[in-house]
Amino acid sequence: MKLVPFLSAILVMVFFYFIVVEREALFEFAGIGGDSTEVDAQNEVAVDDAPSDPVEAPEKSVAVIARKSIAQVIDSAVILRGETQAARQVELRAETSGQVVTEPLRKGTFVEKDQIMCEIDKGTREVSLADAFARLAEAKSRIPETEARIPEAIARLQEAKSRLLEAEINKNAADKLFEDGFATETRVVSAEAAVKSAEAAISSAEAGLKAAKAGMDNIGASIQSAEAGVASAEGEIDKLTLRAPFEGLLESDTAELGSLMQQGSLCGTIIQLDPIKMIGFVPEADVNRIKEGVRAGARMIDGQQVFGTVSYLSRSADQTTRTFLVEITVPNADLKIRDGQTADILIEADGAAAHLLPQSSLTLNDDGDLGVRTIVEGRSKFVKVRVLRDTVDGIWLAGLPENAEIILVGQEYTTDGTPVVAQYEETSQ
């Protein structure tokens, strides 16, 4: 056990004993005299003289670096991330079955409108077409004979009507003579029979006329049926040749020579890349800033820049992302832009007042809103902002007043209402 620490501990204990227990004796030994009552009275006077309200310590100001900024009107383009898309794309598929009889076209081939892509063997389809034409000719050949029956039926009807008129005259005469006693009852009965026979002849003639007209209707139906057969046979033959609906590039090989195609089998895929579309999705906050027909541009991943116009803006939002589809039509005569490439899209919008500030000036408030801290009457104040554009010189922010004092350094050490001492940065925008 070391002696020095032990002696030090003893001396400390003795000192605290005299301070706490034998304080008065210690003061007398040290030459600090005085009546304890006098000391207490002085203490009471000191307490009475003390102010009743506590004195608040002065607020400490935070030193910051700030900038006096003036808003400028800039072209507030809407910036999107999108991709390219072919203006038109179609998959040519067979509508009938058969064996391919043409050589295939290889993918990447540029095809013209109506160019033959695939051709299927005709088989017995031409025989079916000839049979349909024969049935049509047969139906038409019956027209003269059936038409001739109609005038004949009309003549018979007229003859029957004449005989009825004659029979009625004879019957009236027989009735008159019978009343006067100059004719027998047999003559009267014979005249009535002649009238009924004439009436029956009229009914027969009318039935013959109706039959003749019905024959013409049947011939008309037969002709229509035959014509439908011809159209069907010709349609089947037309389906054997698959042609390009528009000019474009083959995205896949066409069907191989000798392969069997069924209904719905793929012949080939054609895409049209001139013009090409740039598609993107606009957030709700920016959708009203875009109008159809305004100018737009895009920068591809390789740095290529292209320009076009807005051709479509959706009126219905995507249910998942709550964004709106926008399409931009861009000329692509050299076909350098491919389908499915990534692009940064900029769409022209109305100008907006903005401040150019360094990115380091941005901060977040307690609610997670993006903004900057400004100086108002010597105190810090948070202002929520919106980023319009990001450049190499800084970011353009909207949402600030026209003239603002923005804290550039030290904003993280302040809150709303904190006194600040600003040193202003010299800048020109």
Is the pTM above the cut of 0.75? no
Question: Which residues, in sequence order, are bridge partners of residue 357?
Answer: 395
Burial 270-301 (b: 16+ CB within 10 A, else e): bbbbbbbbbbbbbeeebbebbeeebebbbebe
Instruction: Give pLDDT, residue 47.
Output: 39
Q: Which residue type sits at 90? A: V
Query: What is the CATH number assigned to the segment(s) 269-347?
Result: 2.40.30.170
Cβ atoms 422, 405 nearer than 8 A: yes
Instruction: Give pLDDT, residue 38.
Output: 45
Residues 6+ apart with CB under 8 A from 6: none
Instruction: Give pLDDT, residue 178.
Output: 75
Q: Supply 249's token pair.
A: 């590039």
Instruction: Give pLDDT, residue 243.
Output: 94
Among 427, 420, 341, 330, residue whose Cα is nearest residue 381? 420
> To 5 degrees, how large is the angle CA 167–CA 173–CA 178?
125
114 SS3 class? coil
Q: Could you give the CA distance from residue 273 to residue 265 in angstroms, rounded to a whole number?
A: 25
Instruction: Give pLDDT, residue 58.
Output: 59
pLDDT digits (tens, 9 = 90+) for 271-308: 999 999 999 999 887 888 888 999 999 999 888 899 99
Rg (CA), the chain: 54
- Calculate the alpha carbon distances from 122 to 128, 195, 267 in Å: 11, 67, 17
Q: What are phi and psi of 385, to 5 degrees?
A: -130, 170
Which regions of the chain are under pLDDT 50?
1, 33-55, 57, 428-429
**Cα–chain center distance at 263:** 32
CA dihedral over 80, 83, 86, 90, signed as positive or negative: negative
Instruction: Give pLDDT, residue 426.
Output: 67
Instruction: Give pLDDT, residue 20.
Output: 60
Residues 6+ apart with CB under 8 A from 87: 272, 273, 274, 275, 276, 277, 329
Residue 417 burial (CB < 10 Å; 0-12/13-18/19+)?
A: exposed
Instruction: Give pLDDT, residue 40.
Output: 45
Q: Could you give the CA distance from residue 96 to residue 239 in angstroms, rounded to a whole number?
A: 7
> To 5 degrees, how large is the angle CA 273–CA 277–CA 279?
145
Q: Could you give the CA distance from residue 15 to residue 156 in angstroms, rounded to a whole number?
A: 160
Among 309, 313, 311, 312, residue whose Cα is nearest residue 288? 313
Q: Supply 394's token pair.
A: 């800084």
Cβ atoms 392, 386 nearer than 8 A: no
Instruction: Give pLDDT, residue 27.
Output: 58
Query: What is the CATH number assigned to the segment(s) 63-76+352-424?
Result: 2.40.420.20
Instruction: Give pLDDT, residue 116.
Output: 94
Q: Where are the domains of the chain?
A: 3-49, 63-76+352-424, 125-238, 269-347
Instruction: Give pLDDT, residue 79.
Output: 85
Instruction: Give pLDDT, residue 30.
Output: 55
